[in-house]
C-alpha cells in the first residue's frame, strides 16, 4: 500500500460538485482511493459591487472530517497553491463556532454597536411622553 503526501486540492466530481480539501491518494493495490480531510465547497458571491467567498462543509450533516472517494467519481483534480484560497480555507477550519456572533439562521445579533438603541417598550414610553407634551402645549 502506497500513500502520497497530502496537499491542497480542488476536485471536480462527476456529480458537478467542486470541492477544496487537503487530500492524500492511497494506491490500495491498483484501486486508488482519494482521502479527503475537511472537504469544503467554496462559491464566489457578488453583492453590491463586492465579491465574497461562501464556504460550507461538503457533507453538512456529518460530524466526520475524513472521507473517501474512488477515482471513478472524479472528473479532474488539481493541486492548488493559491495563497488566498488556502488562507480562506484555513481560516474557515480554525473558526471557533463557540463564538456566538451569528444566529443559526444567519441573522446577526443586534448590539449597540450595530444600531440597537432601546427596547420597543422604552421607545414606546418615550414617544408617548413626547406626544403628551406636544398635545398639552
Distinct helix (H) and strand (E) counts, the chain = 2, 6
* Residue 87 reports pLDDT greater than 80: yes
Which domain CATH number covers 82? 2.30.30.100
With respect to residue 102, please indicate whether it lies within any of the assigned structural domains. no
CB 2 within 8 Å of CB 17: no
Question: pLDDT band at residue 102, thresholds of 50, 70 and 90?
Answer: very low
Ramachandran bin of 16, using left for φ above 0, alpha for ψ from -120 to 50, beta for the remaining angles:
left
Q: Give the position of cell 446577526.
A: 108
Over residues 107-126, the pLDDT tens digits come to 666 666 556 666 778 878 88
Would the pTM of this model clear 0.75, i.e. be above it? no
Count of domains forming the chain: 1
**Residue numbers of the domain that contains 61:** 7-95
Amino acid at each position: 500500500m502506497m500513500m502520497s503526501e497530502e496537499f491542497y486540492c480542488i476536485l471536480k466530481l462527476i456529480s458537478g460538485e467542486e470541492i477544496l480539501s487537503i487530500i492524500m491518494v492511497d494506491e490500495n493495490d491498483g484501486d486508488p482511493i482519494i482521502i479527503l480531510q475537511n472537504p469544503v465547497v467554496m462559491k464566489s458571491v457578488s453583492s453590491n459591487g463586492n465579491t465574497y467567498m461562501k464556504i460550507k462543509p461538503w457533507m453538512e450533516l456529518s460530524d466526520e472530517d475524513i472521507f473517501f472517494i474512488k477515482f471513478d467519481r472524479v472528473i479532474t483534480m488539481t493541486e492548488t497553491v493559491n495563497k488566498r484560497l488556502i488562507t480562506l480555507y484555513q481560516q474557515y477550519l480554525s473558526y471557533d463556532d463557540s463564538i456566538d456572533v451569528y444566529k443559526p439562521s444567519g441573522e446577526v445579533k443586534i448590539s449597540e454597536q450595530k444600531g440597537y438603541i432601546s427596547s420597543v417598550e422604552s421607545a414606546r414610553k418615550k414617544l408617548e411622553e413626547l406626544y403628551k407634551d406636544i398635545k398639552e402645549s
